[in-house]
């Protein structure tokens, strides 16, 4: 609990600091409090994951500190040199949150974490780097990162059997939408991020209570009721951004904004890659939606207590019918 609060405090220090050094300090506090949270005696891969995470983040922090010191020396450098320093800072921040082309560590680290830690890494740990990147916005680097994150996030998830890696590549794809919305609108990325965090929470909550780790477990899982199964896969489709689910709203806003900015080529790439991510979500849903198959009786059914069941159903209901509810509220008020 203490490390969790320190983790949150580190992010708060970063987003509220008025100097780069204060922001770097917040990132370091955040990193050093997340490492103990990652360690798990029951999971042999957690040590490897925490070591990979530490080395990657330490590298990014070192280069970030070096760039900040160069910036604070206030020597008579050319405009070109300042641009290079800003690019160094942006690259470090992209590395810290796992955006392409600096994504190499992200799926491997998530593979060794528990679902709770995976949720923190995919949502909370992205807040501080995203907020700092929104202060800089170096156009060539951000545009390259948007296109690469979109493509790698979509194609990387195609041949995965691990649900953690699937969500990791999905997270990289969603990062491209956040960075694109950030570049053309100061606040839209925050709305997208909040929606993405809610949908990721709803998916991970269901994986955690059903003890799911790989795709083949989805096929043989004996649910208490068919409603639970439908809710689980509706959450997947919502995360993929399929209308009329809640996940389509942030994508809709970003599409409208990119069309208004005449970024048609960028939008075409992002929408095409979003369809690829939707394909590998649909692949998980085939058995539920399309095929009639028998469930074996010897699989033990999952016993959920009433509170967990109600929380799961209410979150899934919001994720599934949220877009319709928001439209109704919009027209009422």
Residue 72 confidence (pLDDT): 86
Interatomic CA distance for residues 7 and 37, integer angstroms: 9
Q: Which of 44-48, 252-256, 327-331 has the highest mean pLDDT?
A: 252-256
113: DSSP letter = S
The residues near 175 (Cβ < 8 Å, ≥ 6 apart) are 97, 98, 99, 126, 149, 153
In this prediction, residue 8 carries a pLDDT of 95
Three-class SS state of 139: helix
Tens digits of per-residue pLDDT, 43-81? 778 889 999 999 999 999 999 999 999 888 877 677 788
Q: What's residue 297's pLDDT?
A: 52
Greatest mean pLDDT range, 132-141, 196-205, 213-222, 322-331? 196-205
Residue 204 has pLDDT above 90, yes or no: yes
Local confidence band at 222 (pLDDT 50, 70, 90 cut-offs): low
pLDDT above 70 for 183? yes
Residue 55: the pLDDT is 96
**How many percent of the chain have pLDDT more than 90?**
59
pLDDT at residue number 283: 82
- The yes-or-no verdict on residue 153 having pLDDT over 80 is yes
Angle between helices 264-289 and 163-184 (to 10 degrees): 150
Confidence band of 15 (pLDDT split at 50, 70, 90):
very high
Q: Which residue has the tokens 């970024």?
A: 263
Q: How confident is the model at residue 179 (pLDDT cuts 50, 70, 90)?
A: very high
Summarize the confidence of residues 108-134 as an average pLDDT.
94
Percent of the chain whose pLDDT exceeds 70: 92
Task: Report the first-to-last Cα separation within the chain, whole angstroms.
Answer: 40
Give the pLDDT score at 288. Answer: 61
Q: What is the mean pLDDT of residues 157-184?
A: 93
On the 0-12 / 13-18 / 19+ scale of CB atoms within 10 A, 4 is middle
Name which of 38-42, 221-225, 240-244 the model is least confident about: 221-225
Placement of tokens 């280069």 in the chain: 63
Higher pLDDT, 16 or 307: 16
Predicted local distance difference test score (pLDDT) of residue 71: 86
Query: What's the pLDDT at 270?
Result: 96
Q: Give CA–CA dist 317/333, Å, rounded.
A: 22
Is the predicted pLDDT of residue 211 greater than 60, yes or no? yes
Q: What is this structure's pTM?
A: 0.92
More confident: 9 or 312: 9
Distance (Å, whole) CA 99 – CA 96: 8
Residue scoring higher pLDDT (306 or 3)? 3
Q: Which residues 6+ apart lie within 8 Å of 24 measured at CB?
A: 61, 64, 65, 68
Report whether pLDDT(247) > 70: yes
Residue 333: is its pLDDT beyond 80? no
Task: Check if the beta carbon of residue 272 is closer than 8 Å to that of residue 176.
Answer: no
Backbone angles phi, psi at 305, to 5 degrees: -75, 165
Q: Taking 70 as the threshold, does the pLDDT of residue 88 lie above it?
A: yes
Sign of CA dihedral 211, 1, 193, 118: negative
- Report the chain's mean pLDDT, rounded to a whole number: 88
Axis-axis angle for helices 163-184, 124-136 (nearest 10): 30
Task: Provide DSSP, 150-173.
Answer: HHHHHHTTTT--BHHHHHHHHHHH
258-304 pLDDT per residue, tens: 999 999 999 999 999 999 999 988 887 776 666 555 555 554 556 67
Please report the pLDDT score of residue 244 as a whole number: 86
Separation of alpha carbons 182 and 170, rounded Å: 19
């Amino acid at each position: 609990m203490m490390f969790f609060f320190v983790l949150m405090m580190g992010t708060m220090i970063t987003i509220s600091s008025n100097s780069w050094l204060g922001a770097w300090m917040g990132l370091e506090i955040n990193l050093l409090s997340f490492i103990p949270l990652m360690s798990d005696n029951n999971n042999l891969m957690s040590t490897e994951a925490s070591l990979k995470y530490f080395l990657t983040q330490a590298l990014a922090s070192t280069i970030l500190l070096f760039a900040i010191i160069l910036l604070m020396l206030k020597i008579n450098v050319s405009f070109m040199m300042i641009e290079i320093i800003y690019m160094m800072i942006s690259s470090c921040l992209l590395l810290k949150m796992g955006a392409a082309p600096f994504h190499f560590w992200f799926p491997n680290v998530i593979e060794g974490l528990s679902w709770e830690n995976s949720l923190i890494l995919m949502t909370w740990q992205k807040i501080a780097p995203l907020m700092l990147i929104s202060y800089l916005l170096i156009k060539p680097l951000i545009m390259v990162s948007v296109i690469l994150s979109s493509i790698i996030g979509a194609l990387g998830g195609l041949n995965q059997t691990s649900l953690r890696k699937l969500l990791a590549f999905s997270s990289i794809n969603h990062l491209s939408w956040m960075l694109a919305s950030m570049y053309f609108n100061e606040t839209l990325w925050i709305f997208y991020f909040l929606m993405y965090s809610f949908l990721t929470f709803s998916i991970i909550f269901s994986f955690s209570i059903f003890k799911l780790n790989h795709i083949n477990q989805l096929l043989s899982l004996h649910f208490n009721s068919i409603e639970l199964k439908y809710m689980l896969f509706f959450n997947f489709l919502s995360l993929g951004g399929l209308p009329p689910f809640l996940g389509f709203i942030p994508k809709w806003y970003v599409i409208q904004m990119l069309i208004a900015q005449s970024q048609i080529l960028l939008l075409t790439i992002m929408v095409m890659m979003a369809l690829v991510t939707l394909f590998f979500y649909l692949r998980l849903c085939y058995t539920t939606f399309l095929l009639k198959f028998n469930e074996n009786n010897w699989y033990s059914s999952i016993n959920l207590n009433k509170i967990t069941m109600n929380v799961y159903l209410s979150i899934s209901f919001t994720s599934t019918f949220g877009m319709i509810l928001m439209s109704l509220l919009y027209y009422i008020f």
